[in-house]
Amino acid sequence: MPDTTAGPVRHLLTGRPGVPTPVGPFVHAVAWGDLLFVTGQMPTDPLTGEVVPGGVVAQTRQVMANLAAVVQAAGGELADTLQVRAYLTDFADFAVFNTEYVRWFPAGLPARTCIGVTGLAVGAVVEVDLVVGLRNQENA
């Protein structure tokens, strides 16, 4: 029997400062109980809606900033990330991606899978999604 004590699913919509508009028909995050499932973020500048130039380093930095903005808007902290899925269009970028990625988790790294793909939306070279633990779900 499913656990119903976690409460209803909360769909967290866009329109919050620092959070870019989604590139497709989805919300940025869904919370259920004390878990926050964050949609894969693209390297889009929240102000312009354009993919940032500069290759995998600049795009990873923007993706992680977008993830942090979504998580914070939901009442969470990036440091409470439990699981990450990263998608790269060129696996030759793996080491460079990792160098930027680890800067966002100074207190400790979450579990992660990194997947090579043939393409991503809006011509991006990197996309990352997360599962985050929410310490105080009433703030979400």
Give per-residue pLDDT as tens, 106-116: 999 999 999 99
Residue with tokens 């949609």: 39
Nearest-10 Cα torsion for 12, 16, 22, 27: 10
- Cα–Cα distance, 31 to 28 (Å, whole number): 10
Tell me the pLDDT of the chain averaged across its residues: 89
Residue with structure tokens 């680890």? 102
Pairwise CA distance, residues 73 & 62, whole Å: 16
Q: How far apart are CA 75 and CA 36, in angstroms?
A: 10
Name the CA radius of gyration of the chain, rounded.
15
Digit-coded pLDDT (tens) for 63-90:
999 999 999 988 999 999 999 999 999 9
How far is Cα 34 from Cα 80, in angstroms, rounded to an integer?
11
Which of 96, 114, 131, 140 is catalytic? The answer is 114
> Domains plus CATH for the chain?
10-139 (3.30.1330.40)
Please give the share of the chain, as a percent, with pLDDT higher than 70: 87
pTM, to two decimals = 0.88
What confidence tens digit (pLDDT) does each residue in 90-105 have?
999 999 999 999 999 9
105 is catalytic: no
Token look-up 């985050």 returns 132
Exposure string of 6-43, with b = 16+ CB inside 10 Å and e = fewer, is eeeebebeeeeeebbebbeeeebbbbeebbbbbbbbbb
Answer for the pair 74, 36: CB distance below 8 angstroms, yes or no. Answer: yes
Residues in the chain: 140
